[in-house]
């Protein structure tokens, strides 16, 4: 996925803050800005800070501390991106000019770096409450509170879960596994500015079965504000049969160990319609409960029977009313060309921003979920 590499537009500002307190450290120039955000995986931001003199070197040294610095991107007065700066590379060219290349991940990437080290059990609990309890676990630890907030709405889907401390599982993995079972949900950590106080907010966003954005529908046309599009069709992830593998069920160390297996699922109607047998499998080495494993298998099989096509469209931002708040929202896309006579609605599941550069307008690349 490519994004523009150019000096950042004057409409954009890069704020470097302390991760735990969100106290502003500095506002630094960030050239070659590229940023994206997604539902279902971490987004990223990258760019290069020029270091032309000793004063700027001192400012960069103070502000850029990977794994400790939060990076916020503003466009005008609106927050368009927020996350954690994870890597920084100091570069010197042949003429001795210095620069610092930085890369950051959205705030959910923090949960990749936190592990569950105490056994947690939930019985008949709403799956949203289990998700919030995992985030609470991460933030209750001394030094672990990075200010992630949430509301208390429910999915009305009850789950039983036991997470063993001996697995030392990353909390991100536990959230992803919980969300992807049959009847699961979507989650992300969204950012916005509080309209009353101006405070920067990190919010755990949960949606069952999916996250829904603003109700206002945007119509995008090609030809028109849609400058280009790509429409992939991928059969490599398709399956017409599925089985998932769980934890070992053999407590006797002297005999051969065998894993728990889910019920074998076969799409007989697909095969009868002419599709070939295509086997798929998934591993859940910490799952010891047959019901839970079967729910994982059904969720995986549903996704594999009809793999999501993710078209992408490139839109001129100066000709539309788009923002990162569009994630989860529905757009109406109309395409008229040799291939398509299209007028359909799609949900936005990914967004990539390219600031303007010489001869090219500011653009947004939208990644769409086909119904």
pLDDT digits (tens, 9 = 90+) for 119-143: 999 999 999 999 999 999 999 999 9
| HSE-up (13 A, CA, CB side) for residue 339 | 4
CB 112 within 8 A of CB 100: no
| Nearest alpha-carbon partner for 125 in 163, 148, 155, 151 | 155
In sequence order, what are the residues at sequence separation of 6 or more whose Cβ sits closer than 8 angstroms to the Cβ of residue 137? 116, 118, 120, 171
Give the pLDDT mean for 340-355.
93
CA distances (Å), 84 to each of 107, 250, 339, in order? Answer: 6, 42, 42
CB 350 within 8 A of CB 328: no
pLDDT tens digits along 195-237: 999 999 999 999 999 999 876 789 999 999 999 999 998 889 8
Radius of gyration over every alpha carbon of the chain, rounded to an integer in angstroms: 23
Residue 28's Cβ-count burial label (10 Å; 0-12, 13-18, 19+) is buried
Handedness of CA 192, 194, 198, 204 (dihedral sign): negative
| Nearest alpha-carbon partner for 174 in 123, 237, 132, 125 | 132
pLDDT score recorded for residue 138: 98
pLDDT tens digits along 93-115: 999 999 999 999 999 999 999 99
| Nearest alpha-carbon partner for 20 in 107, 106, 147 | 147
pLDDT tens digits along 66-96: 999 999 999 988 999 999 999 999 999 999 9
Domains in the chain: ranges and CATH: 12-108 (2.30.300.10), 114-207 (3.55.50), 218-233+309-369 (2.30.300.10), 241-285+294-304 (no CATH)
Residue 3 has pLDDT above 90, yes or no: no
pLDDT score recorded for residue 8: 46
Could you tell me how far CA 103 lies from the centroid of its own chain? 16
* C-alpha–C-alpha distance, residues 265 and 207, integer Å: 27
| Nearest alpha-carbon partner for 294 in 250, 242, 339 | 242
Quote the mean pLDDT of the chain.
92
* C-alpha–C-alpha distance, residues 133 and 161, integer Å: 12
CB 335 within 8 A of CB 342: yes
E-state strands within 223-290? 226-230, 241-248, 259-261, 265-266, 279-283
Q: Which of 7-16, 64-73, 246-255, 296-305 has the lowest mean pLDDT?
A: 246-255
């Amino acid at each position: 996925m490519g994004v523009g590499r150019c000096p950042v537009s004057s409409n954009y500002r890069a704020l470097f803050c302390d991760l735990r307190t969100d106290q502003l450290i500095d506002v630094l120039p960030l050239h070659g800005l590229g940023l994206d955000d997604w539902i279902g995986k971490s987004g990223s931001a990258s760019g290069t800070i020029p270091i032309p003199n000793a004063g700027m070197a001192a400012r960069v040294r103070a502000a850029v501390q990977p794994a400790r610095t939060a990076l916020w991107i503003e466009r005008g007065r609106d927050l368009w991106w927020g996350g954690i700066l994870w890597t920084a590379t100091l570069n010197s060219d042949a003429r001795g000019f210095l620069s610092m290349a930085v890369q950051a991940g959205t705030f959910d990437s923090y949960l990749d770096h936190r592990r569950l080290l105490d056994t947690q059990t939930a019985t008949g609990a709403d799956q949203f409450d289990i998700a919030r309890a995992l985030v609470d676990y991460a933030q209750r630890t001394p030094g672990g509170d990075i200010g992630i907030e949430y509301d208390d709405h429910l999915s009305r889907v009850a789950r039983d879960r036991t997470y063993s401390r001996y697995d030392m599982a990353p909390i991100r993995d536990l959230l992803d596994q919980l969300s992807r079972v049959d009847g699961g949900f979507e989650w992300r950590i969204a950012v916005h500015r509080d309209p009353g106080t101006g405070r920067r907010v990190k919010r755990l966003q949960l949606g069952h079965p999916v996250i829904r954005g603003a109700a206002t529908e945007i119509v995008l046309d090609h030809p028109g504000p849609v400058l280009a599009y790509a429409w992939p069709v991928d059969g490599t992830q398709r399956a017409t049969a599925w089985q998932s593998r769980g934890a070992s069920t053999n407590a006797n160390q002297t005999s051969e160990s065998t894993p728990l297996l889910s019920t074998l699922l076969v799409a007989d109607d697909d095969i009868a319609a002419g599709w070939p047998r295509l086997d798929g499998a998934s591993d859940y080495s910490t799952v010891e409960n047959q019901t839970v494993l079967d729910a994982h298998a059904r969720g995986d099989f549903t996704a594999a029977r009809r793999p999501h096509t993710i078209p992408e469209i490139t839109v001129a931002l100066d000709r539309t009313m788009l923002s990162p708040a569009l994630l989860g929202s529905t757009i109406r896309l109309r395409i008229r060309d040799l291939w398509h006579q299209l007028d359909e609605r799609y949900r936005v599941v990914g967004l990539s921003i390219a600031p303007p550069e010489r001869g090219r307008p500011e653009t947004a690349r939208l990644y769409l979920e086909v119904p």
